[in-house]
Structure 1
Amino acid sequence: MHDDCFLEIRSANVWRGDTLALRDFSLQLRHGESVAILGPNGAGKSTLLKLLTGEVRPEANHQTLCRLFGEDLWSLEDLRHRIGVVMPEDIARFHPEEEARDVVLSSLRGAFGRTRDMRFSAKDRAAADRAIERLGVSSLAGRDFGTLSSGERRRFLIARALVHNPPVMVLDEPSTALDFAASIGLTSAMRDLISGGHTLVLVTHHPGEIPPEIERVILLEHGRIVADGPKKKVLGSSKLSELFHVPLKVSWPGGWCDVRPA
């Protein structure tokens, strides 16, 4: 494994039930190179995400390799300090009356929400407050989680993933269920993460939410990589039209990918 890789997969087959979700799959992701992973429903994005977070393993085969941070075996506890993961469905894991600060603090115990017996040190609280401040929601930390807007709750989820200060952040469909203003705010938060030194893995359906700081794009279809490279080469009109099976036209205003019907 190359020293700068945090994920290396080679010749992997990954099953989800009776479905072969990733087929003869090979990929390297490197520190310092943020990447967007794009594809339609059923392309294999969620399975790749579960490989990246250690939740699933590939089929055993002498040709297959799957390493995270140079290790063939890992603990989920260790990965929490190395990869921060934000998924839209995580919002539903918290009671609406949970204090927003406790949403972040409970990550330090590997839990979704604070229980009565949880105790946190001054160091723990300082780490949570720093993460909350980085996401610009310090004034909301004492509010009940359920009273916050979708965009505000998403920011607390990012702060929760950020509390361990992991080098890699994974955002899965971050704009799901967000209105226009909240989506703009979330994009700003993603750009701040990259400029702050984190490697960002963005999993998305939407080329338009890929920030200019991300230069590498991977296209998935039917459990395979169909394109991987510089975004202006990968996100061309013909490739996206073929991927989504609809005529599309791509332009690049200010480094953003604008996709319209052809």
Structure 2
Amino acid sequence: EGEHVAIIGPNGAGKSTLVQVISQEVHPLAHPQMKRLLFGKQRWQILELRKRLGIVSQSLQYLCNSSYKGIEIVLSGFFSSIGLDFHHQVSDEQRQKAREVMERYDAFHLAEKQMNRMSSGEARRILLCRATVNEPSVFLLDEAGTALDFPARRAYRQTLEQLDSQGKTIILATHELSEIIPSIGRVVLMKEGKIIADGPKEEVLTEKLLTEVYETLVYVDQRDGLFTAWC
């Protein structure tokens, strides 16, 4: 906790799988030398863990692409479900908390809009609110900036900075180096399911390492604490 980490690598490198292992959506093969500790514990009740982890991903957006309204998706975060069903009893306190979170992230105007009518940027904002209602200490963001246009991408970076200012821990899996905000100091570089490098971003985000991993000539530039790469 307290350390921001970016996970990068080519398609199929294992970034999303690593995030799913962290969130206990999938389980690694047992090995005598292996330990998986989350918040200092090896075993968690999944619903209790969900209160500590806020998850936003492109795949979660696909699951939520339905006629549920924005407010219903946000409220479903209290139940670790996708939308609300008849057996979900929502309290006045939960409704008030959902409203506060949506106002915090400038999303309350989307409360009555159906998810399948939202833009990618709008839907991602709703999912962030859903992830926030339990006030988790750690946010797992898996390709959450994918398919966003320039204004939405800028808003997404501002959201990352907002999470940092609130003292949240950020674990960011991404293709875009520009999403690695200055306060993210550690980068994990993956290829074919293996960790190739893990350390300070200035040591990992080098042209030599990225060229080796992506198997094409990669150029890197750094400006005002932000990295960009092109080939």
Post-superposition offset of 1:92: 2.4
Tell me the alpha carbon deviations over residues 77-125 of structure 1, each in whole angstroms, 9 at most, x when there is no partner: 0111111111112222235321111100012122101123432111111
1:237 aligns with 207
Instruction: Quote the Cα distance in structure 2 between the aligned partners of 1:59 and 1:149.
Output: 38
1:137 aligns with 107
Please say if 1:68 is aligned against 2:38: yes
Within a 5 Å distance, the mapping from 1:71-82 to structure 2 comes to: 71-82=41-52
1:251 aligns with 221
Q: State which drifts further: 180-189 or 138-147.
A: 138-147
Between structures 1 and 2, the one with greater strand share: 1
Instruction: Quote the Cα distance in structure 1 between the aligned partners of 2:61 and 2:182.
Output: 27
Instruction: Quote the Cα distance in structure 1 between the aligned partners of 2:213 and 2:104.
Output: 36
1:22 aligns with none
RMSD of aligned alpha carbons: 1.4
Please say if 1:34 is aligned against 2:13: no
Instruction: Quote the Cα distance in structure 2 between the aligned partners of 1:60 and 1:144.
Output: 42
2:67 aligns with 97
2:58 aligns with 88
Letter of the 1:191 counterpart: E
Letter of the 1:86 counterpart: V
Post-superposition offset of 1:54: 1.0
Please say if 1:124 is aligned against 2:71: no
Unaligned runs of 5+ in 2: none
Post-superposition offset of 1:260: 2.5
Unaligned runs of 5+ in 1: 1-30
2:116 aligns with 146
Aligned 8 A contact 1:37 1:203 in 2 = yes
Instruction: Quote the Cα distance in structure 2 between the aligned partners of 1:258 and 1:88.
Output: 22
Higher relative contact order (CA 8 A, sep 6+): 2
Q: Give structure 1 regions of 4+ aligned residues with deviation exceeding 4 angstroms.
A: none
Aligned 8 A contact 1:58 1:66 in 2 = no
Q: State which drifts further: 33-42 or 59-68.
A: 59-68
Instruction: Quote the Cα distance in structure 2 between the aligned partners of 1:190 and 1:105.
Output: 22
Instruction: Quote the Cα distance in structure 1 between the aligned partners of 2:85 and 2:67.
Output: 13
Letter of the 1:247 counterpart: L
Instruction: Quote the Cα distance in structure 1 between the aligned partners of 2:68 and 2:172.
Output: 28
Q: TM-score, normalised by structure 2?
A: 0.95
2:19 aligns with 49
Q: Would you say how many aligned residue pairs link Structure 1 and Structure 2?
A: 231
Sequence identity, in percent? 38
Aligned 8 A contact 1:220 1:226 in 2 = yes
1:180 aligns with 150
Letter of the 2:200 counterpart: P
SS state at 2:224 partner: helix
Post-superposition offset of 1:219: 0.4
Q: TM-score, normalised by structure 1?
A: 0.84
1:203 aligns with 173
